[in-house]
């Protein structure tokens, strides 16, 4: 048995239990930040904290490692707070009700917050121990990762000296993550120009699509309901004269929209309804293999006067919705099976003043993300609108000849007797922010097995956490 396997992981679970007792929903970071500061003070460790609540704790290298290059151990402090309808827990005041179910830790009625509380617990256990051999450590605990990598973005990187980093925010213990996508939110606002029209009101509802995460599930062939609505309206426009009253679908840019609604006005509602049903019958058969739950409903109301979009905005919007780039834009030429660049139309909303359309843009290479933003700026000229970008974070690009990747693979193979999977993901990790700010940063992301994150079904494998912690100890020991 390797020497590091003698290290007991009980303290990891003790710290995780303590962390679960501290309110730490995104945007409510004061208590958990104070918890980390108090830990550092109790352990007589130097620390840094900023006005946002980020905390960095420093620990010198152990005997024989005093002059080794330092390493960043990193995780985020916040969790996504979800609960069942009958759960009475107040996330701003109460701790979680955690229990053991076989090999898994779960929380009664709420999310568990193992994403990313277990990373914090493992790092604290390393900082506390006087038995784990390691180089100088810069333990970085960031705030508000779940709502936009905020803590990692605002942290003053000059307080860090290391050129190598282990992020503990991965969720599969057999996988080494070596790259992630950068992101950008692209927004189009179309001012409403309305005029009066008399005719039947036709309501269209598309629903029952699978939806999903626009990073993790963008390659699963799932249909975006807003995109499908654009396809339908474009088809109808070839043969029918109608005006749009409203279109609505989705409320999160990073979610593949699973439903969309439109309200139209036309002179011959029954004829339009027949055309819609006929076309959607064809679409339903086309999608039956990948979207078996797809449903639609078309309703025709009596003729009345309506406020509709004028012809210029109406026709421009139909063109925009039908032709805007959507889904996978480009696959990676270097990493097999990796979506390199994508775009998701997550929000389509009509209010009193404008039509709001918002996209989540992702790419694993910076030039790809820049081009997508430029392309959308140009494409948006097809309709009178204002376009803007926000929430940009850079991609974490794959590093060839990474010493840290090789070290992890060697340690993993020594521990498990087999090679790990190596993966680049099309979602975001804080590694992207740190690698962009720290020149030459050699970075990997690892973590124990967990599932159902961000939901009340979240669970964390106990045995996987033990193995991941011991593997982390093995890596630190070899970092002379």
- Please, which residues have CB within 8 angstroms of residue 472's CB and are 6 or more apart in sequence? 122, 126, 166, 168, 446
Selecting among 78, 115, 144, 449, the annotated active-site residue is 78
pTM of the predicted structure, to 2 decimals: 0.80
Q: Residue 391: its pLDDT value, please?
A: 85
Q: What is the DSSP string of 232-262?
A: HHHHHHTT---EEEEEEEEE-TTEE---EEE
CA distance 112 to 458: 6
pLDDT value, residue 270: 94
Could you give the CA distance from residue 378 to residue 13 in angstroms, rounded to a whole number?
52
Residue 145: active-site member: yes
Q: What is the pLDDT of residue 7?
A: 63
The DSSP symbol for 207 reads E
How high is the pLDDT of residue 9?
A: 87
> Which contiguous run of DSSP H or E holds residue 107?
strand 104-107
Which one from 138, 144, 145, 449 is the annotated catalytic residue? 145
- Identify the pLDDT of residue 1: 38
For residue 271 the two structure tokens come to 């004829």
Closest to 143 measured CA to CA, from 134, 135, 152: 152
Rounded to an integer, what distance in angstroms lies between the CA atom of residue 37 and that of residue 444?
26
From CA 365, how far away is CA 342, in angstroms rounded? Answer: 11
pLDDT of residue 400: 87
User: Which residues, at least 6 apart from 400, have a Cβ–Cβ distance to it below 8 Å?
Assistant: none
Residue 5: the pLDDT is: 52
Instruction: Indicate if 241 belongs to the active site.
Output: no
Question: Distance between CA 47 and CA 428 in Å, rounded?
Answer: 27
All structural domains of the chain: 3-180+396-477 (3.40.630.10), 184-392 (3.30.70.360)
On the 0-12 / 13-18 / 19+ scale of CB atoms within 10 A, 446 is: buried
Reading the chain (480 residues) residue by residue, the pLDDT tens digits are 344 555 678 899 999 999 999 999 999 999 999 999 999 999 999 999 999 999 999 999 999 999 999 999 999 999 999 999 899 999 999 999 999 999 999 999 999 999 999 999 999 999 999 999 999 999 999 999 998 899 999 999 999 999 999 999 999 999 999 999 999 999 999 999 999 999 999 999 999 999 988 888 899 999 999 999 999 999 999 888 899 999 999 988 888 999 999 999 999 999 999 999 999 999 999 999 999 999 999 999 989 999 999 999 999 999 999 999 999 999 988 788 899 999 999 999 999 999 999 999 999 999 999 999 999 999 999 999 999 999 888 899 889 899 999 999 999 999 999 999 999 999 889 999 999 999 999 999 999 999 989 889 999 999 999 999 999 999 999 998
Paired tokens of 294: 């797809």
Q: Do the Cβ atoms of 359 and 380 come closer than 8 Å? A: no
């Amino acid at each position: 048995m390797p020497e590091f396997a003698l290290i007991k992981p009980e303290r990891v679970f003790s710290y995780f239990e303590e962390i679960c007792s501290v309110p730490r929903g995104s945007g409510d970071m004061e208590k958990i930040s104070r918890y980390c500061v108090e830990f550092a003070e109790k352990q007589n460790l130097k620390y840094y904290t900023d006005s946002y609540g980020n905390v960095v704790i420093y620990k010198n290298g152990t005997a024989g490692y005093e002059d080794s290059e330092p390493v960043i151990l990193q995780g985020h402090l916040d969790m996504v707070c979800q609960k069942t309808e009958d759960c009475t827990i107040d996330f701003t005041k109460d701790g979680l009700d955690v229990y053991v179910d076989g090999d898994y830790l779960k929380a009664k009625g709420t999310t568990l917050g193992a994403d990313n509380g277990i990373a914090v617990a493992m790092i604290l256990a390393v900082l506390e121990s006087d038995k784990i051999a390691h180089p100088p450590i810069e333990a970085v605990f960031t705030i508000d990762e779940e709502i936009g990598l905020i803590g990692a973005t605002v942290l003053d990187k000059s307080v860090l000296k290391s050129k190598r980093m282990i992020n503990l925010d991965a969720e599969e213990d057999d996988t080494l993550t070596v790259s992630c996508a950068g992101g950008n939110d692209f927004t189009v606002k179309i001012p409403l120009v309305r005029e009066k029209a008399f005719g039947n009101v036709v309501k269209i509802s598309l629903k029952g699509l699978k939806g999903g995460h626009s990073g993790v599930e963008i390659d699963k062939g799932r249909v975006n309901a807003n995109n499908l609505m654009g396809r339908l309206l474009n088809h109808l426009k070839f043969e029918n004269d109608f005006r749009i009253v409203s279109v609505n679908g989705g409320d999160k840019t990073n979610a593949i929209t699973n439903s969309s609604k439109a309200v139209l006005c036309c002179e011959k509602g029954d004829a339009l309804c027949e055309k819609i049903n006929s076309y959607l019958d064809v679409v339903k058969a086309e999608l039956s293999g990948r979207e078996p739950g797809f449903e639609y409903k078309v309703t025709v109301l009596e003729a009345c006067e309506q406020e509709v979009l004028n012809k210029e905005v109406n026709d421009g919007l139909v063109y925009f919705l039908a032709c805007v780039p959507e889904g996978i834009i480009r696959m990676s030429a270097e990493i097999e099976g990796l979506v390199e660049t994508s775009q998701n139309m997550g929000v389509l909303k009509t209010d009193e003043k404008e039509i709001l359309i918002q996209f989540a843009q992702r790419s694993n290479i910076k030039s790809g993300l820049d081009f997508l933003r430029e392309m959308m700026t140009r494409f948006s000229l097809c309709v009178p609108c204002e376009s803007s970008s926000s929430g940009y974070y850079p991609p974490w690009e794959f590093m060839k000849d990474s010493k840290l990747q090789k070290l992890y693979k060697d340690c993993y193979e020594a521990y498990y007797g087999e090679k790990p999977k190596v993966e680049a993901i099309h979602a975001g990790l804080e590694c992207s922010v740190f690698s962009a700010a720290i020149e030459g940063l050699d970075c990997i992301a690892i973590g124990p097995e967990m599932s159902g994150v961000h939901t009340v079904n979240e669970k964390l494998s106990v045995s996987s956490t033990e193995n991941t912690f011991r593997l982390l100890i093995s890596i630190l020991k070899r970092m002379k």
